[in-house]
Amino acid sequence: MTDISIRIEGRAGRITLQRPKALNALTYDMVLAIEAALDEWRAADIDLILLDAEGDRAFCSGGDIADMYKSGQEGNLDYGRQFWRDEYRLNAKIFEYPKPVVSFLQGFTMGGGVGVGCHGSLRIVGDSSQIAMPECSIGLVPDVGGSLMLALAPGRLGEYLGLTATRMGAADAILAGFADAYAPEADWSALKAQMVETGKLTELSLPAPNGALENMLPHINRHFAGETLGDIVRSLSAEDSDFAHSAMKALRNNAPLAMACTIAIVRRLRSATSIRQALDQEFRYTHRAVAQGDFIEGIRAAIIDRDRSPKWTHDSPEAVTEMDVSHMLMPLGADALNWEEMP
C-alpha cells in the first residue's frame, strides 16, 4: 500500500504515513492496515512501535471524510458507522498496547491523527507541531479517544480546546496532555535511529518553547465552567476582552449541538479509568451524526462547497436543549461498540 509503509527495522515495528500531499489524512484502508500490523507485532521479536509520517506539513490532519459525505448523501449510514467502529477499536489498541508506542508529531496532528499519534507511550513534538481537536467545526464531537485527554486536561482546558478547536504548539500540547516531550525536529532522525537500534525509549528533557495556554488558564477556568453551553456563551458575552471576543468568534462558527454534547462528554469522563469509556461516549454521537446531527452539512461547508457557511440545526448555542443532548448521547444498545473484539 503506497499510502503507508509498514515494516520491521532493528528492534522496532515501524509505521510511516505516506500521503504528504493529503496531509497524511487517514483512509479506511490505512486504519485497517495499522491495526493488522499491531496485532501481528504483539508476538514479534521487537521492543517498540515507532509511528511517523512523510513531509513536514503534517503527521496526520485527520480522517479522509469525503467518502463519508458521499455515502451519507446516498443514504448509506453503514459506511461511516463501520469506519468509526474500526477506527475506535484501533485507538483503544494503541492506548492499551503491551509494547511502547512512540510517535513523532510534526505539523498538523488533528482529529484522526490524534487517535493514531497521541495515545502512545512517548509522544514527541517539535517547533512545527500544531495539535487540535476541530470536530465541532464540522458537526462532530472530539472523538478517537481525544475526549479522554480533554477530560483529563488541567482545569477547564478540555472544554475550551474542544469547543474552540484552538491549535496547540509543543508546550501547550504537553500542558494539555496530548504530548510528552519536545525535541528539535533536526534531531528526530537521530532519535529514531537510536530507538530502532536499541529498542529503548530515549529520555528527553529539553523544555519546549513557551506556550500560550498556561497564562490563559484563569480566563478559561472562569468562563468555561458553566454547566451548559448557554452558560459559557453568556459568561463570554458579558466580558469585553480579547480573550472573550476570540473565544466567542470560535463558538459562533461551530455546530451548537456538537459543542453542547462535547461539554457533556468531557464532564462524564472526568472520572474515567479507561479509554474505552471515552470511545463508547463518542460513538453514541458519531453513530447518530450522519442521520440526526450536523455532520453532513459541516463537511459540505468545509470541504465540498468550501463556503464556510454551514446551516446548523440550531440557530445559536443557546438554542440547544438538554433533551437535544440526551437524544444524541443515549446508550446504543445492540449497536454499541463491541469490546469482545479486543485482545
Please name which of 291, 229, 251, 276 lies closest in space to residue 91, comparing C-alpha atoms: 276
What global pTM score does this model have? 0.96
The Cα–Cα gap between 89 and 228 comes to: 30
d(CA 220, CA 170): 19
Whether residue 288 has pLDDT greater than 90: yes
**Residue 78: what pLDDT?**
84
Q: Check residue 65 and give its pLDDT.
A: 77
Here the cell at position 114 is 490524534
Per residue in 48-63, is it b (16+ CB within 10 Å) or e — as a string? bbbbbbbbebbbbbbb
- The pLDDT-based confidence of 98 (bands split at 50, 70, 90) is very high
pLDDT tens profile 44-84: 999 999 999 999 999 999 987 777 777 877 777 788 899 99
Q: Is the dihedral angle over the CA atoms 207, 211, 216, 221 positive or is it negative?
A: negative
Q: State yes or no: pLDDT of 9 exceeds 70.
A: yes
End-to-end Cα, the chain, rounded Å: 25
Per DSSP bridges, beta strands 12-17 and 4-9 are: antiparallel
Strand locations in the chain (E): 4-9, 12-17, 48-53, 58-60, 101-105, 108-110, 122-125, 130-132, 181-182
Residue 21's CB is within 10 A of a number of other CB atoms, namely: 10
* Cα gap 232→159, rounded to integer Å: 10
CATH class of the region 4-341: alpha beta
CA angle, residues 95, 267, 181, in degrees to nearest 5: 40
Given a cut of 80, whether residue 221 has pLDDT beyond it is: yes
CA distance 103 to 15: 10
pLDDT of residue 57: 97
**Average pLDDT estimate for 21-48:** 96
Report, as an integer, the average pLDDT of 124-130: 98
- Indicate the average pLDDT of the chain: 95
Q: How far is CA 328 from the centre of its chain?
A: 19
| Cell representation of residue 179 | 504530548
* Cα 3 from Cα 77, distance rounded (Å): 26
- pLDDT for 74 equals 79
Domain range summary for the chain, segments of one domain joined by +: 4-341
Q: What is the pLDDT of residue 1?
A: 59
Q: Is the pLDDT of residue 39 over 90?
A: yes
- Structure confidence by residue, pLDDT tens digits, 233-247: 999 999 999 999 999
pLDDT at 13: 98
Give the pLDDT of residue 80. 87
Calculate mean pLDDT across residues 182-203: 97
Q: Which of 34-38, 196-200, 337-341 has the lowest mean pLDDT?
A: 337-341
What are the cell numbers at 288?
447518530
